Amino acid sequence: MNSASSPSSLPLHISTVHTSRATINRFQSLLHLTSIFALLYYRLSEITTAATPSSLFSLFPILAAELILSTIWLCYQAFLWRPVFRTTFPDRLPREEAALPPIDVFVCTTDPEKEPPWEVMNTVVSAMALDYPPGKLSVYVSDDGGSIVTLSSLKAARRFARCWVPFCQRFGIECRCPRAYFSGRPEKEGDGGGKSLECFEVEKMKVEAKYEEFKCSVAKAVENGAATIATFNPRDHSPTIEVIQDDSGDDEYETSRVKCPLLVYVAREKRPSSPHHFKAGALNVLLRVSGIMTNSPYVLVLDCDMYCNDPTSAKQAMCFHLDPEISHKLAFVQFPQKFHSLSENDIYDGQMRTLFVVRWPGMDGVQGPILSGSGFYIKREALYGNVSKKDIPQLKQCFGDSNDFISFVKQSNRHNLFHGAEVPIDLLEEAHFLAQCSYERETSWGKEIGFRYESVVEDYFTGFMLHCKGWTSVYCTPSTPAFLGSSPTNLNDTLVQNSRWNSGLFEVVLSKFSPLIYGMSQKMSLLQTLCYGYRLHGSWSLP
């Protein structure tokens, strides 16, 4: 059992190796390995004693099939070697707001027709209501479609958040996704924060009225934007960046002592002649824009349909990131992906239990789990790489020609906050410059810094490269799901999703970054390399 201590000498987290499970797994692996060696010995004996060329020719394909399947099996055993389970103690973090680091939240959306704005806005509001100092939270929404619907909906979300965030903090609300809260989940209402039931009910009715206004505003934005969507080209538009500020003048919440997190809308420039690199490209634009606006040392990445179910996830992640024993080499804290849209039977395994219940705890006992697309708190420094040894010309060659952005890269502890203040015009102009599609030309974005472009599975490849550089990761599995999202519920969508993932993974295996070759030549351990090497499992269809 390992623990990390806070300044008060109490552990912020505890990691426990599941010894009995590991022992059983290793014994079973030894038995299977013995059988495989016996089988291969038998097959080689057959080949050496083959009487005719035809019989020899028929034995080689069988041997090749057995070698492929044996390699896949061997890689899988690395997941079972040392399963680890972790417990966090967020209440032991420093109580002073100044002692907690700022966090930037990235939410990515693309098409308001495929990703309903109402669902996206609930994710945004739930992120703004995290149990974390609002002055230390900033939420950036990447709208790759550049839709007026998303922008208008965000303004409605900001207005509602002005009453929702204080309400959640005042009464200790546990479920901070408005749609989930008002759909009837009394077990997640919290304890009222010590306030009287009558006071709570009165405030709840007021907030519920605002919630209905919020819902109507989003529906109206969708209706009004329908004509614009038909004429607007989402693949050819200029950058749009706007700091969403509420000017409604609602005096009832104007005097609230609880601030509201910064909310920024980002629609990067897209042109048919320039590759946009999908989600990885959008995340890298958010890294640059947030880098000159807030420059928070930690970033939470969320899919637009995955809302914050447990408001303490930020503090749970900080239990690891603020641990002096592991923080210097810790790149990210990954939470499991859980889904609310699945039936009880879940015949297509939409919960991906094999990944989040078996494999990731096993990798956590080695060098850490794979970056999994959503629900992770990542260190900005890990994405930037080592910048301390580079001079200004070298930094510009890597990060681009923005002097303002370079200054923030050099001073990672320098932060900007514009809560309730006017954002300087020159800062917005610089942000638009950073969001241009031509900014990354002849730079290291997507190659050596930021989220990687070499594969459509940008999360897997980015995490792989971080582990190759010696960074570690942590898998945090609290009893209450930190995030809840939507998953395919029919066969067609499941096949499309899995085909995309597996083709992307196999693409990496066949590239120069093949885990079993490239990983072994870098700073990854043998077991971690085997875990990444299991991406070969797509080749099981060959035998």
In SS3 terms, 77-143 reads as HHHHCCCEEEEECHHHCCCCHHHCCCEEEEEEECCCCCCCHHHHHHHHHHHHCCCCCHHHEEEEEEE
> Which region holds residue 385: left if phi is over 0, alpha if psi is between -120 and 50, else beta?
left
The dihedral built from the CA positions of residue 311, 483, 108 and 434, taken in this order, carries a sign that is: positive
- Residue 524 inside a domain? The answer is no
Told to judge if 104 belongs to the known catalytic residues of this protein, a careful annotator would answer no
pLDDT score recorded for residue 187:
45
pLDDT in tens, 134-150: 999 999 999 999 999 99
Residues 74, 126: one domain? no
Burial of 421 (0-12, 13-18, 19+ CB in 10 A): exposed
Residues 273, 402: one domain? yes
Q: Residues annotated in the binding site, as ranges?
A: 114-115, 144, 279, 303
Residues 82, 108: one domain? no
- Residue 341 inside a domain? The answer is yes
- Residue 518 inside a domain? The answer is no
Residues 47, 108: one domain? no
Residues 40, 105: one domain? no
Q: How far apart are CA 175 and CA 167, in angstroms?
A: 12
Q: How far apart are CA 485 and CA 438, in angstroms?
A: 34
- Residue 522 inside a domain? The answer is no
* Beta bridge mates, 300: 105, 377
Residues 325, 426: one domain? yes
pLDDT at 6 over 50: no
Told to judge if 144 belongs to the known catalytic residues of this protein, a careful annotator would answer yes
Categorize the per-residue pLDDT at 53 as very low, low, confident or very high, splitting at 50, 70 and 90. Answer: confident
- Residue 8 inside a domain? The answer is no
* Alpha-carbon 316 to chain mean position: 15
Which helix (H) or strand (E) is 473 found in, with range?
strand 472-475
DSSP 8-state code for residue 400: -
Residue from 528, 539, 540, 536 nearest 360 by CA: 528
Q: Which two tokens stand for residue 411?
A: 């001073």
Q: Which domain CATH number covers 462?
A: 3.90.550.10
Residues 152, 73: one domain? no
Residues 177, 224: one domain? yes
Q: Which of 144, 246, 305, 323 is catalytic?
A: 144
Residues 111, 75: one domain? no
- Residue 328 inside a domain? The answer is yes
pLDDT at 241 over 70: yes
Categorize the per-residue pLDDT at 128 as very low, low, confident or very high, splitting at 50, 70 and 90. Answer: very high
DSSP 8-state code for residue 475: E
* Alpha-carbon 493 to chain mean position: 21
Q: Which two tokens stand for residue 103?
A: 């966090």
The dihedral built from the CA positions of residue 444, 448, 449 and 450, taken in this order, carries a sign that is: positive
pLDDT in tens, 154-198: 999 999 999 999 999 999 999 999 999 998 754 455 555 556 788
Domain that holds residue 357: 99-513
Residues 198, 240: one domain? yes
pLDDT in tens, 400-411: 999 999 999 988
Residues 134, 76: one domain? no
- Residue 207 inside a domain? The answer is yes
Categorize the per-residue pLDDT at 5 as very low, low, confident or very high, splitting at 50, 70 and 90. Answer: very low
Across the chain, mean pLDDT equals 89
Our count of domains for the chain comes to 2
pLDDT score recorded for residue 255:
46
Q: How far apart are CA 103 and CA 133, in angstroms?
A: 10
Q: Which of 131, 246, 305, 459 is catalytic?
A: 459
pLDDT at 466 over 80: yes
Q: Which residues contact 266 (CB under 8 A, 6 or more apart)?
A: 140, 141, 142, 143, 239, 240, 241, 285, 286, 289, 431, 435
pLDDT score recorded for residue 186:
47
pLDDT score recorded for residue 315:
97
Residues 181, 65: one domain? no
Cα–Cα distances in angstroms (integers) from residue 381 to residues 286, 463, 512, in the given order? 15, 14, 25
- Residue 494 inside a domain? The answer is yes
CA-based angle 455:456:457, to the nearest 5? 85
Q: Residues annotated in the binding site for Mn(2+), as ranges?
A: 279, 303
